[in-house]
Amino acid sequence: MRLAQRLAVAALACLAGAAHAQSAAPIKVGIALDISGPFASLGADARDGFDLAIEKLGGTLGGQPAEFLKTDFAGSPEQATQLVNRYLQRDKIQFFTGPIASNSALAVAPLLFKAKVPFLSNNPGPSQFAGKQCNAYFFGQYQNDTYDEAAGKLANEKGYKHMVILAPNYPAGKDHLNGFKRLYKGDLKDEIYTKVGQIDYAAEIAQIRAAKPDAVFFFLPGGMGINFIKQYVAGGLKGIPLIAPGFSADQDVINAVGEDMIGLQNTAHWTHDLDLPANKAFVADFRKKYERYPTVYAAMAYDTIMAMDAAVKDAGGASDPDKLVQALAKPSFTSLRGDFTYGPNQYPIQDYYLRVVAKDADGKVTNKLVERILTRHQDAYVADCKR
């Protein structure tokens, strides 16, 4: 065959390949959004993190066309279950992510596991999926207890001998308090559980005042944390230090409370001032697009989409769920948190940091990285994972 003929055949093959790529069915991703209901402010940050990653990838995953189905389920586990059934039966999704709360994740996960659809958590890390109910199709960003194990270690180092702890009465709340108690060596003056979505904390603040603790540890994300901190300060308790997992002292809470947050100590696996090239670029892009600092919810949502993108590349597509799971278990993307690996239960082994609320160089109130509290830390439930 002459050179001209060979070039013509090659050109036709390229055109045929391009036409096939354009006509191929898009990879479908189901995203359950919490942009109304009790976790609305957190869900809005997660949505913005998702959108920034999708925009960066040009709406593709692994270079292939993708369709991102985003639906608000208002933080209701019942609505989340209905939504996932629709995603699976009608839309035939190949990835799922989205809920903020652990109770919603626990509600929808069995449907996804049965359908062999990878569930990449963009936030909840329930203890159930870290231990006896671990599953090859679930991938965590952190395990609920770990933020609080870091906080318990911090409380010991600060010399807080007597503490009050409180959280909402739902699965994540119980995990978070259990995590704190696991490493804290002092005396608990009181352990308080509140209602999910509660806005009036007068009774709890009276209990804290009566207990006279050295410090208070609380897990109250979103609007719950905003109301609690405002009422705590107004109640004259600012002299009693507050420690929290990062979810209760992130930028969404800081923006709403303001300077009364200054000095609040919190622990997290990520912070916007981690000195990593990928993280710096993400924070700069996020601030340019949304005119605010990102929260840990936004960072985790961004990482979730990037993990999907890398898995599709590494698996050679999204048609084989077993290959996707194998690729996800050995992540090749550059995470905003830096290097991490998965344990046998597919929860990360990673570092946890102390952040303190302060003013930045421009006078804006935000979190500042202080130090690493735990290094390459694994959750406490991994030994129970027997899959």
Encoding tokens for residue 248? 């209760």
Domain CATH for 91: 3.40.50.2300
Whether residue 288 sits in one domain with residue 237: no
- Asked if residue 259 and residue 370 are part of one domain, the reply reads yes
In a domain, 115, yes or no: yes
pLDDT of amino acid 234 = 97
Q: In this structure, are 262 and 365 located in the same domain?
A: yes
Rounded Cα distance between 89 and 66, Å, is 18
Residue 14 burial (CB < 10 Å; 0-12/13-18/19+)?
A: exposed
Contact (CB, 8 A) for 78 and 260: no
Q: Tell me the three state secondary structure of residue 192.
A: strand
What is the number of domains present in the chain? 2
Determine the structural domain holding residue 280 and report its residue range: 25-141+273-337
Q: Is 20 contained in some domain?
A: no
64 and 170 assigned to the same domain: no
Cα(340)–Cα(30) distance, rounded to whole angstroms?
25
Per-residue pLDDT of the chain (387 residues; tens, 9 = 90+): 444 444 444 444 444 444 444 457 999 999 999 999 989 999 999 999 999 999 999 999 999 999 999 999 999 999 999 999 999 999 999 999 999 999 999 999 999 999 999 999 999 999 999 999 999 999 999 999 999 999 999 999 999 999 999 999 999 999 999 999 999 999 999 999 999 999 999 999 999 999 999 999 999 998 999 999 999 999 999 999 999 999 999 999 999 999 999 999 999 999 999 999 999 999 999 999 999 999 999 999 999 999 999 999 999 999 999 999 999 999 999 999 999 999 999 999 999 999 999 999 999 999 999 999 999 999 999 999 998
User: 115 and 129 share a domain?
Assistant: yes
Structural domain includes residue 2: no
Same domain assignment for residues 365 and 315:
no
Q: Looking at the structure, do residues 221 and 369 belong to the same domain, yes or no?
A: yes
Residue 78 CA, chain-centre distance (Å), reads 21
Q: Is 86 a member of any domain? A: yes
Q: Give Cβ neighbours of residue 61 (< 8 Å, ≥ 6 apart).
A: 27, 29, 305, 308, 309, 312, 318
Both 85 and 198 in one domain: the answer is no
Answer whether residue 17 is part of any domain: no
Indicate whether 263 and 150 sit together in one domain. Answer: yes
Q: How far apart are CA 322 and CA 330, in angstroms?
A: 13
Residue 294 placed within a domain: yes
Q: Same domain, yes or no, for 366 and 249?
A: yes
Q: Please, which residues have CB within 8 angstroms of residue 363's CB and are 6 or more apart in sequence?
A: none
First to last CA, the chain: 56
pLDDT of residue 387: 80
Q: Is residue 14 part of a domain?
A: no
- Domain membership of residue 4 (yes or no) is no
Residues 131 and 280 grouped into a single domain: yes
Q: Please choose, from the candidates 136, 130, 92, the residue with its C-alpha nearest in 3D space to the C-alpha of residue 118.
A: 136
Same domain, 360 and 315: no
C-alpha 342/C-alpha 357 separation (Å) is 30
- To the question of pTM greater than 0.85 for the whole model, the response is yes
User: CA 302, CA 324: separation in Å to the nearest integer?
Assistant: 19
366 and 358 Cβ atoms separated by less than 8 Å:
yes
Q: Cβ neighbours of residue 41 under 8 Å, at least 6 residues apart?
A: 222, 223, 252
